[in-house]
Amino acid sequence: MNSISAREALMHYNYARFAHAKDFVFRMWCALAIERQQRTPEDLSGACKYGSLFMQQVFGGSIEGHYAHQFNRIDTRVVDLSHDALDVSRMRTPYLHEAEYFNIPEYRIALQACTPRVDNWTLAFLREAGAEGASSGQM
């Protein structure tokens, strides 16, 4: 496997929806920190597994990356909810793709551990986006 295989989108990707998704995932990331009794995060540093799984579930595409960061490729675009997070800004090559990384069993297990929470986030986001879209006639 060279990346996390492409999925079909549940919702068409655009910049307004990216902004909504980023806000939503940040709220969920903060809630997770509170649940874990950790300091409330200032940005999406450390959230790339959750964010990239979420983006793939909602907007389709594939997940790419390396040991320190992962992101999405939707159509031909690199899409990263964490693009402006402090941890990403400190990386020399945040958008390097090391295909062999995705074959490491421990990595696959770590992603699987995130998936149930991301599934719940996806359902909540689709409800939230549907309510907003219905009120503005966009969905």
Sign of the Cα torsion 93, 94, 95, 98 reads positive
Amino acid symbol at 74: I
Decide which of 3 and 110 is more confident.
110
Per-residue confidence band for 137, with pLDDT thresholds at 50, 70 and 90: very low
Q: pLDDT, tens digit, for every residue of 27-55?
A: 999 999 999 999 999 999 999 999 999 99
Longest dimension (CA), the chain: 45
What pLDDT is recorded for position 17?
Answer: 97
Per-residue confidence band for 7, with pLDDT thresholds at 50, 70 and 90: confident
Indicate yes or no: pTM above 0.85: yes
CA distances to 48, 50, 107 from 110, in Å: 12, 10, 5
Alpha helices in the chain (DSSP H): 15-35, 48-59, 86-89, 105-136
Q: pLDDT, tens digit, for every residue of 56-72?
A: 999 999 999 999 999 99
pLDDT at residue 12 tops 60: yes
Residue carrying the six token digits 């793939």: 56
